[in-house]
Amino acid sequence: MVKSNIVTLRKAKNSIMLLLCFISAIYGIFWLFWILITLVIKGSEAFSLKLLYLDPTPPGVEGGGLRHAFVGHFIIVSLATVIGIPIGIMAGIFFSEYGKRSRLFTVLRMITDILVSVPTIIVGATVYAILVKPLHHFNALSGIVALSIIIMPIVAITTNEMLKLVPNNLREAAYALGSYKWEVTLKVTVRAARNGILTGVLTGIARIIGETAPLLFTSFSNQYLNLNILKPMASLTVYIFNYVMGPYEYWHQQAWASALILTLIILLLFGITRLIIRERRK
Phi, psi of 89 (to 5 degrees): -65, -45
The reported pTM is 0.88
Q: Is the pLDDT of residue 87 over 80?
A: yes
**For the chain, what are the domain ranges?**
2-46, 52-281
**CA-based angle 222:144:66, to the nearest 5?**
35
Structure confidence at residue 219 (pLDDT): 92
By the 8 A CB rule, do 185 and 175 touch?
A: no
Structure confidence at residue 145 (pLDDT): 95
What residues form DSSP beta bridges with 64?
56
Average pLDDT for 198-227: 89
* CATH class assigned to 52-281: mainly alpha
Structure confidence at residue 14 (pLDDT): 87
Q: How confident is the model at residue 153 (pLDDT cuts 50, 70, 90)?
A: very high
Structure confidence at residue 279 (pLDDT): 67
| Interaxial angle between packed helices 140-164 and 103-117, expressed in degrees from 0 to 180 and rounded to the nearest 10 | 120
Structure confidence at residue 21 (pLDDT): 93
Q: Is the pLDDT of residue 150 over 90?
A: yes
